[in-house]
């Protein structure tokens, strides 16, 4: 495990503690952005999966890895998870009002993307990097972040957006003005996610359908898969299916 604060690795993590969602170093609260990275699978594999995550995702990560192996017939891959410190801030491209509760969305996505490009991808061995396929993905707001990142850089060969928060205010219009710079995009949604009284969340089905058509019209290999259940059902399985589609696509 590696922990980064403002892009700098904290080598001695024994002084790092977490209390009520706040990060402390030697007992002093850290207000800046922090990331924790973990690597799974074969670091030398030709396929690199990068996933932004929270504590709940990390609890399910071993199951997700098992599903990926199952859905790809045991293909070799490396998965790097990047656990963010503040989910609503670190993965949001711009500020927005809270949807549930009192926690508004921030504008930390540019800094998170900068971390991925400079601290996750840049240190890769050049020979390995040249032959690798690199896929960025995640679930919910992490899926939205992956889509947004694909609009900002051509560093990723594919985007795995499982049940993405594509209802995020202003994102659909943003994507239409900034076509993703990637070869392939996987989209999915639970078939009950749009069945809500919340005026913003209830539009998620219409937004993802129109986004799928937009991506196809712009020459991006894209699929939209509907899963059974609401937004909170089987996130590990849904994320695994997203990554597996991109990996299997390479074999077709």
Give me the percent of the chain exceeding a pLDDT of 90: 73
Mean pLDDT of the chain: 88
Task: Please tell me the distance from the alpha carbon of residue 22 to that of residue 15, in angstroms, as a whole number.
Answer: 14
pLDDT single digits (tens) 213-228: 999 999 999 999 999 9
Domain boundaries, the chain: 35-249
Task: Please tell me the distance from the alpha carbon of residue 8 to that of residue 252, in angstroms, as a whole number.
Answer: 40
Mean pLDDT calculated for residue range 29-53: 84
Task: Please tell me the distance from the alpha carbon of residue 87 to that of residue 187, in angstroms, as a whole number.
Answer: 20
SS3 content of the chain, % helix, strand, coil (to 5): 35, 25, 35
Q: Residue 251: which pLDDT band, with cuts at 50, 70 and 90?
A: confident
Task: Please tell me the distance from the alpha carbon of residue 100 to that of residue 237, in angstroms, as a whole number.
Answer: 25
Where are the alpha helices (H) located in the chain, listed in sequence order?
A: 55-59, 61-71, 87-90, 109-115, 126-131, 141-152, 171-177, 204-217, 235-249
Q: Which class is 35-249 in CATH?
A: alpha beta
Is the pLDDT at 90 greater than 80, yes or no?
yes
Range with the poorest average pLDDT among 82-91, 99-108, 166-175, 241-250: 99-108
């Amino acid at each position: 495990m590696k922990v980064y604060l403002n892009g700098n690795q904290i080598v001695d993590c024994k002084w790092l503690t977490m209390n009520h969602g706040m990060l402390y170093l030697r007992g002093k609260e850290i207000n800046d952005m922090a990331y924790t990275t973990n690597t799974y699978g074969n670091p030398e594999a030709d396929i690199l999966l990068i996933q932004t995550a929270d504590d709940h995702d990390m609890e399910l990560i071993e199951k997700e890895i098992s599903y990926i192996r199952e859905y790809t017939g045991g293909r070799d891959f490396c998965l790097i998870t990047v656990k963010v410190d503040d989910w609503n801030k670190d993965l949001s491209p711009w500020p927005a009002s809270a949807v549930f509760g009192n926690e508004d969305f921030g504008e930390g996505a540019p800094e998170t993307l900068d971390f991925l490009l400079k601290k996750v991808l840049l240190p890769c061995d050049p020979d390995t990097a040249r032959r690798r396929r690199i896929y960025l993905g995640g679930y919910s707001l992490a899926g939205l972040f992956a889509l947004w990142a694909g609009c900002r850089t051509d560093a990723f060969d594919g985007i795995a957006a499982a049940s993405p928060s594509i209802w995020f205010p202003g994102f659909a219009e943003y994507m239409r003005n900034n076509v993703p710079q990637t070869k392939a995009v996987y989209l999915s949604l639970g078939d009950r996610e749009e069945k809500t009284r919340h005026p913003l969340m209830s539009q998620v089905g219409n937004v993802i359908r129109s986004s799928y058509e937009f991506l196809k019209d712009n020459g991006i290999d894209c699929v939209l898969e509907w899963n059974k259940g609401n937004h909170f059902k089987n996130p590990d399985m849904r994320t695994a299916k997203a990554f597996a589609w991109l990996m299997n696509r390479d074999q077709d």
